[in-house]
């Protein structure tokens, strides 16, 4: 076997629950590679570690006994079937886990630790295409009006939560990106925001004057994803928004409203920090869906 080619001492893993995987240098070095070279966040690296650990558990292998060269395509297929039939996981979730373990084996082959990649014979599951959920512009206008009122609340928690919600909608940033912000992330006048996105890529996002003034007064750096998520979920619920309520819904809303107002697709791609235009083009489907709904409700021939 080629495992002995990797002899560098394995660094500690990111995440308190991943210590069992340190026993295998192949896995530990792979996770260190994700953090140091791919610049994935600690949360993302821990997610990869959990998926790899679940894969090994399905095979009945302890981390220190893992020999990647002995894994066959049938072992992977058995794991996929188990996730679907026993764990009842959705295809999208299964594909994410497949992708994590596939990345490990691709890296092992690139380093010479294995000669054969069993994942070359594995296809991801088909998943139904779902349109991003967003809040209609007219309803969002009412939400923003209420948010602006709360940004002047005498209650500090109300001010902070409202400011969080306003920032998500004004900038379209991700939850993980917001949690990493400090006052130094903003320009002196709070009219632009420097965001460090996936893969450590930086982008500059402009902010409306009113949003900038509120942030300059109310912004408090956050270290808790849960606090930011709760601020959005509870805020949107209180304001009568139905369906899914999350920071990512506000990101979708930001992009959809820009597109509906005539923004260029490339500009939206840059604002969102998408690596490819294909990821941004999904919002065109949102706009078409909205047009179809209006047409079906208003056009006399559609009613007949």
Active site positions, annotated? 174, 198, 248, 251, 274, 283
Report the distance separating Cα 249 and Cα 232, nearest Å: 10
Start-to-end CA distance of the chain, whole Å, equals 70
The three-class DSSP label of residue 158 is helix
Contact (Cβ atoms closer than 8 angstroms) between residue 220 and residue 60 = no
DSSP 194: E
Report the distance separating Cα 255 and Cα 283, nearest Å: 7
* Dihedral of the alpha carbons of 22, 89, 67, 63, in degrees to the nearest 10: 30
Per the DSSP assignment, residues forming a β-bridge with 194 are 204
Report the distance separating Cα 58 and Cα 86, nearest Å: 11
- What DSSP assignment string belongs to 27-95? HHHHHHHHHHTS---HHHHHHHHHHHHHHHHHHT--GGG--GGG--HHHHHHHHHHHHHTS---HHHHH
- What DSSP assignment string belongs to 255-278? HHHHHHTT--HHHHHHHHT-SSHH
In degrees, rounded to 5, the angle at the alpha carbon of residue 278 between the alpha carbons of residues 276 and 131 is: 130
- Residue 18: both structure tokens together: 């991943």
Contact (Cβ atoms closer than 8 angstroms) between residue 25 and residue 111 = no
């Amino acid at each position: 076997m080629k495992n002995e080619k990797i002899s560098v001492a394995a660094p500690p893993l990111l995440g308190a629950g991943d210590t069992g995987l340190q026993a295998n240098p192949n896995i530990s070095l792979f996770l260190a590679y994700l953090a140091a070279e791919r610049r994935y966040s600690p949360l993302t690296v821990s997610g990869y570690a959990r998926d790899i650990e679940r894969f090994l558990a399905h095979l009945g292998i302890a981390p220190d006994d893992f020999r990647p060269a002995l894994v066959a395509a049938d072992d992977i297929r058995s794991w996929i079937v188990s996730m679907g039939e026993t764990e009842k996981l959705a295809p999208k979730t299964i594909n994410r886990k497949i992708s994590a373990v596939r990345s490990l084996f691709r890296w092992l082959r690139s380093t010479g630790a294995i000669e054969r990649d069993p994942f070359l014979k594995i296809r991801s599951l088909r998943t139904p295409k779902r349109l991003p959920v967003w809040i209609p512009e007219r309803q969002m206008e009412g939400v923003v009006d209420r948010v602006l009122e709360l940004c002047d609340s005498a209650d500090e928690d109300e001010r902070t939560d409202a400011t969080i919600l306003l920032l998500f909608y004004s900038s379209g940033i991700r939850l993980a990106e917001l949690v990493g912000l400090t006052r130094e992330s903003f320009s002196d006048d709070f009219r632009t925001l420097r965001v460090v996105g996936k893969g450590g890529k930086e982008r500059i996002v402009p902010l409306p004057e009113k949003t900038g003034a509120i942030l300059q007064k109310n912004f408090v750096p956050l270290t808790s994803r849960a606090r930011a998520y709760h601020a959005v979920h509870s805020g949107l619920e209180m304001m009568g928004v139905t369906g899914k309520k999350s920071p990512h819904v506000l990101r979708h809303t930001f992009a959809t409203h820009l597109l509906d107002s005539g923004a260029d697709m490339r500009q939206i791609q840059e604002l969102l920090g998408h690596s490819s235009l294909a990821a941004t083009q999904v919002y065109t489907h949102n706009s078409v869906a909205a047009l179809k709904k209006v047409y079906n409700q208003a056009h006399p021939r559609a009613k007949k």
